[in-house]
Structure 1
Amino acid sequence: MPILQGFEEVNITAPITKMTMTVMDTRVRFNKATAIALGYPAYVKVLVNDKTKQVALEVCTGRDANAVKFSKPEGKQTASVSLKDVTLVATIRKFFTLKPAAESEDSYAAVPGRLFPDQHVVVFDAAEAVAGTMKRRGRKKVVKD
């Protein structure tokens, strides 16, 4: 149609929001955007590169060696994904120096991720980490007299 010559259709698919890995003393958390970007995988492999201080998530099946349970299916994954395996956390944690935090706070390092959609992989580079502290969530400790 000549009247629409030069016009381009607007792509209305939602862009992928910022993927973030948050490293704390006892867990590593991946925001919901990371699960969305990878297609809500039930399992991933966590890979590390000691030389470049990078962490990668690769989609896999539950039968693969070192597969880690990751996301619920689309529509059921309502929050971030926390991994608490001691070995996994210690392996990733060594790339970061967390600040000392007050008793009611948690120290963390937040790292943006880069998606490689054709390979179903997200890479997080420790060099891009932003450190900080946040108030603890959940139940408060009861102090007895």
Structure 2
Amino acid sequence: MSLLENFKAFNFNEGVPYVSVTSNGMTFNKSVIMKLGYPEHVLLLIDEETKRIAVQPCTQETPNAAPFYNKEKKSNALSVRWNGRDLLNTIQNLMNWDLSQCGYRIDGVLLKEEQAIIFDLTHASELK
């Protein structure tokens, strides 16, 4: 038995998961994709009371499942962008933001037990 048996190598390529919200869409960085295990579909969950959103992997058959990571995508870009106007309007109204004037970045927190990442919109920082 090795002294290192229970150790796992740290992946320096993952980084901090975050989502950016601009007038062009909501973009999840590669860390979100990697930490969730490259899911093809997710649920976008919104807690209007606490102004938080979460993404959680699910199956295609799950009600309200949204396409997420496309493994067949030809691009080398490892990010996901949703640009649905209804989604952007919902976030903009929830936060009283004017996305035509400014975008925002929100760091996420991985919940391993739930296999989800939560983004607290009240801790958003303005994009320059």
In the superposition, the TM-score normalised over structure 1's length comes to 0.73
Work out which of the residue numbers 29, 32, 38 in structure 1 matches 2:30.
32
Deviation at 1:75, TM superposition (A): 9.4
Alignment equivalent of 1:13, drawn from 6, 10, 30:
10
Equivalenced residue count is 123
Percent sequence identity is 25
Shift of 1:19: 0.4
> 1:114, 1:96 → 2: CA distance?
23
Unaligned runs of 5+ in 2: none
Q: Give the alignment's Cα RMSD to 1 decimal.
A: 2.6
Judge conservation of contact 1:48–1:92 (CA < 8 Å) in 2: no
Structure 1: runs of 5+ lacking an equivalent? 1-7, 102-106, 134-145
User: Does 2:92 match 1:97?
Assistant: no
Alignment of 1:25-104 (within 5 A): 25-73=23-71, 78-94=77-93, 95=95, 97-98=97-98, 101=101
Alpha-carbon contact 2:92-2:99 (below 8 Å) kept: no
Q: 1:99 to 1:109 in 2, by over 3 A?
A: same
TM-score when normalising by structure 2: 0.81
Distance, in Å, in 1 between the alignment partners of 2:96 and 2:20 is: 11
Shift of 1:91: 1.7
TM-superposed deviation, 1:25: 1.8
Equivalent residue for 2:124, pick from 110, 118, 129? 129
